[in-house]
Amino acid sequence: MRKFKSAALGSVLLMASGAMAAPIQVLLVDGASGGSFHNWRLTTPVLKAELEETGLFQVTVAIAPESGGDFSSFKPEFGKYQVIVSNYDAPEWPADLRRQLEQFVHQGGGLVVVHAADNAFPGWPEYNEMTGIGGWRNRNEQAGPMWYFKEGKLVSDDSPGPAGSHGARLPIKIVTREPEHPIMKGLPPVWMHATDELYATLRGPGKNMTVLATAHSDPENKGTGHDEPMLIVLSYGKGRIFHTTLGHDVMALSCVGFMTTLQRGTEWVATGKVTQPVPASFPTANTVSYRVDIAAMDPAFRKGILTTATPADAMAKPAPPQK
Ligand code: ZN
């Protein structure tokens, strides 16, 4: 009798601590990118591993056809998931699929947009409302103003010009703008993100958008001189969105700062809360911190990733000029 009682109490405690909670179901969509410079076949397994190692998420991958492909057998059933993570960049989707994603987020589903996923779908207004800002694929002032921080405040700038630019890949100093937001709570006010592209001149409606963190785009590195949005949250209907402009390649994804914000952002879009602690290895104001086991998921790592940071397939053909 006593034994039974303590076993029952044990399971009550486990339930209370969340250890027995069902994992958050995540659908990671990939299958296309704007060129060979974004190797989704390499980066998707990294994103999946980073989410699943928290124990909070179960990740299913859905490989979507490229624009104009045969979508007849692509039935992602968004409603079975709490979060959709997009690692997908293509110009267009069929109307019924667009409507399904709109309904999913509008009714309270979570969406996470990683790096070049904000290049996708320039002609889909609802998607651009979900991401807030995006670049390339012939976007210009028609896509909306540029958004950046000026004297500590988010401003919009409707001067004309193309959308989307970045300089050489360098470590990026990330500055927190919303320290009390659940995703940012406990993170240092300033930290160094590992080598990555610093997206600038992104344009979009910027509706229901809060910029959590920015980085200075350095004119010495083809930058704007502005403090550009890096981590963003938005709402669309009842749905929450986390948009990180970071994450060009496996090296960038291996940054402990990237990982932590991805993991926290994905939990927040699902539940509105963040229960994950900040890891002790989180980068500081002058120190990058990356996970070697994650970085080594890129086969180029063995050849010396800092000198061969361009994926082998991108070196085979010249990259189009806009990315
Ligand atoms: Zn990129």
Between the CA of 223 and the centroid of ligand 1 the distance, in Å, is 15
Cβ–Cβ under 8 Å, residues 228 and 199: yes
How big, in percent rounded to 5, are the helix, strand and coil portions of the chain? 30, 25, 45
Residue 271 to residue 259: CA distance in whole angstroms: 18
Between the CA of 239 and the centroid of ligand 1 the distance, in Å, is 26
Between the CA of 35 and the centroid of ligand 1 the distance, in Å, is 10
What are 151's strand-pairing partners? none
Phi, psi of 254, deg, nearest 5: -80, -5
Residue 240 to residue 274: CA distance in whole angstroms: 13
Mean pLDDT by 10 residues, the chain (323 residues): 44 50 96 91 98 98 95 96 98 97 98 98 98 98 98 97 97 98 98 97 98 98 98 98 98 98 98 98 98 95 66 45 49
Between the CA of 274 and the centroid of ligand 1 the distance, in Å, is 27
Every domain of the chain and the residues it spans:
24-316
pLDDT, residue 196, reads 97
pLDDT, residue 306, reads 58
CB under 8 Å to 279, separation ≥6 — which residues? 256, 260
* DSSP H helices in the chain: 2-17, 40-52, 95-106, 125-131, 250-253, 256-271, 292-295, 312-316
Between the CA of 102 and the centroid of ligand 1 the distance, in Å, is 25
Residue 81 to residue 60: CA distance in whole angstroms: 9
- Identify the residue whose tokens are 């002609």: 123
| Tokens encoding 177 | 């703008």
Three-state DSSP at 57 gives strand
Between the CA of 198 and the centroid of ligand 1 the distance, in Å, is 9
Between the CA of 15 and the centroid of ligand 1 the distance, in Å, is 42
Phi, psi of 287, deg, nearest 5: -135, 125
Between the CA of 123 and the centroid of ligand 1 the distance, in Å, is 20
- Identify the residue whose tokens are 């809360």: 273
24-316: which CATH topology? Rossmann fold (3.40.50)
CB under 8 Å to 33, separation ≥6 — which residues? 39, 40, 88, 89, 90, 116
Between the CA of 3 and the centroid of ligand 1 the distance, in Å, is 58
- Helices then strands, counting H and E runs in the chain, come out as 8, 11
Q: Of 143, 106, 103, nearest to 121 (Cα)? A: 143
pLDDT, residue 317, reads 46
| Tokens encoding 160 | 């004309």
Helix axes 40-52, 256-271, angle to 10 degrees: 70
pLDDT, residue 21, reads 81
Cβ–Cβ under 8 Å, residues 183 and 242: yes
Between the CA of 116 and the centroid of ligand 1 the distance, in Å, is 6
What are 154's strand-pairing partners? 149
Between the CA of 323 and the centroid of ligand 1 the distance, in Å, is 7
Q: Of 97, 148, 158, nearest to 124 (Cα)? A: 97
Burial class (CB in 10 A: 0-12, 13-18, 19+), 158: exposed
- Identify the residue whose tokens are 């590992």: 194
Between the CA of 161 and the centroid of ligand 1 the distance, in Å, is 20
pLDDT, residue 304, reads 83
What are 191's strand-pairing partners? 174
Between the CA of 18 and the centroid of ligand 1 the distance, in Å, is 37
